[in-house]
Structure 1
Amino acid sequence: MASLLYISVRPERAAADAEYASFRRGLGVAELDRLDLLTAPLDPAAVTGHRGIVIGGSPLNVTDPAPTAEQRRVESDLERIAAAAIDGGTAALFTCYGIGVVTRMLGGIVTVDHPESASAVTIRATEAARQDPIFGPSGPELHVFTAHKESAAQTPPTAELLAEGDACPVQAYRVGTHLYATQFHPEPSPADFAERMTFYRTKGYFDANAFDAVQQRVLAETVTEGEALLARFAATFASP
């Protein structure tokens, strides 16, 4: 068993495979275990048996008006991972869809008022981030990829804001010492993100009629700080 686990919540298998590869590269590990919550429920041993867990994104949204029984089960499983991380039983990094699940779990509000189309944006680290082992070395600004329809309306209770943006106020926060949540995607390179766009061309994350232009803008970006965050997550939590 590897010390780190990747949790997939993407229905598109090829997109999940690519996301897994992106996380493994960013974390800088030779081995990364994998669990797809859309095909198998969470095994508690998978949480306690790993020192760190990274949770990928998804086209699902916690604000969906009529979630399926499968989505409700997936969100319940994600909440169990978050609870374990808050208790210090493992470390967890939730991304995109996952920050909505954690925000709601903490009693916060998830809103559709701050969407961001598929693009690279510059976000600002807070004062709290400067003292954080994962975010601190990034400096005052991070250039990262975003694509989402919902977000936290504000930092939820018990969480500490680590990064903020103009279009989306809550870009990252920490709960305790072992739970991190980001609205942005830390794992994709420009090539990764451009490829991911092909799976979600008609899902409302960008103008489908401008696909080629949006993809070329993505490919022209220099985005590396997300991978650096992942490498520090692995360095901080993967080793005894």
Structure 2
Amino acid sequence: MTGRLLYVCARPQREAAAAEWASFRDGLGVDDDDLVHHDLVREPLPGDLERYAGVVVGGSPFNVTDPDKTESQLRLERDLESLASAGLDGRTRTLFTCFGIGIVTRLLGGVVSLDHPEDTGPAEIMLTDDGTRDELFGVLDPRFVALTAHKEGAVRVPPGAVLLARNDACPVQAYRAGAALWATQFHPEPTADAFVARMAVYRAAGYFDAEAFDEVAAHVRTASVEQPTLLLRTFATLAA
């Protein structure tokens, strides 16, 4: 195993993928060479995951609940399930975000539905008692702000997982499962400005009213997201 981390990209849009990699790099506090970029949309999962100290999985416009999936999306979901299994078994430390929490929830036998969407912008998130004691989430304030934008969510914490964070709109914001896997519904990596740039890519994707872009962007820019960055720095430290 090396000290390098792996970023797994699930975004078809190359501009958004490159920016997300940069956000994770900055949030983790590592150099360019220490965060390897793997495009899972176009390349299958590498078979040597154990050589990385840890793996972070970015978001995606895909949804677990999508009714009509291409073969490319189905293959990507299978690869993410394989990665989740490696985290559950403790073969590599993994952090799934956004779309990824749906993949892990389904793998664990939980239910993902469209009943718990969340607006685009800052959201207040609360740690559970287990969250305050968790080796990763325990570094955070009991209440903190993170950026969200999603159409689906877990109905409840899946079997075998430990709920770490929640809020009123989304009952499952984060959990830990198995030996070395964490999953978040919120986005821990972007700054407010990076999130606004991502919004521009997905302006017509139905996450918010495209005509209200400037208003939503102004609200996003009011967000203070130091706590999610602390989460990533801690993940990098634990992985090292």
Equivalent in the alignment of 2:126: 124
Query: How do 1:203-214 and structure 2 match up within 5 A?
Result: 203-214=205-216
CA positional deviation for 1:133: 1.4
CA contact (8 A) 1:124 1:164 kept: yes
Cα offset for 1:177?
Answer: 3.5
Q: For 1:179, which of 175, 178, 181 is the aligned residue?
A: 181
Q: Which residue of the partner structure matches residue 188 of structure 1? A: 190
| Structure 1 letter corresponding to 2:25 | R
* 1:41 matched residue in structure 2: 44
State the alpha-carbon separation in 2 of the partners of residues 21 and 137 from structure 1: 23
Question: Per-residue deviation at 1:2?
Answer: 5.3
Runs (4+) of structure 1 moved beyond 4 Å?
none
Question: Is residue 2–residue 32 contact of structure 1 (8 Å, CA) maintained in 2?
Answer: no
**Aligned in 2, Cα 1:93/1:20: closer, same or farther, shift over 3 Å?**
same
TM-score with structure 2 length normalisation? 0.97
Match of 1:19 in 2: 20
SS in 1 for 2:25: helix
- Please name the residue that 1:74 is paired with: 76
2:103 is matched with 101
The answer as to whether partners of 2:81 and 2:103 remain within 8 angstroms in 1 is yes
| Matched AA of 2:41 | L
Deviations 1:6-32 (A, max 9, x none): 000101101000000000001111120
Aligned residues of 2:141 and 2:227 also touching (Cα < 8 A): no
Residue 219 of structure 1 corresponds to: 221
2:29 aligned partner: 28
State percent identity of aligned pairs. 51
Match of 1:65 in 2: 67
Question: Could you list the runs of 5+ residues in structure 2 that have no partner in the other structure?
Answer: none
Structure 1 gaps of 5+ residues are none
Q: What residue in structure 1 maps to residue 6 of structure 2?
A: 5
Report how many aligned residue pairs link the two structures.
Answer: 237
The answer to whether the 8 A contact 1:115-1:149 is kept is yes
Q: Distance in 2 between matches of 1:149 and 1:39?
A: 24
The DSSP-based 3-state class of the residue aligned with 2:200 is: helix
Question: Distance in 2 between the 1:7 and 1:69 partners?
Answer: 19
How far apart in 2 are the matches of 1:172 and 1:38?
A: 24
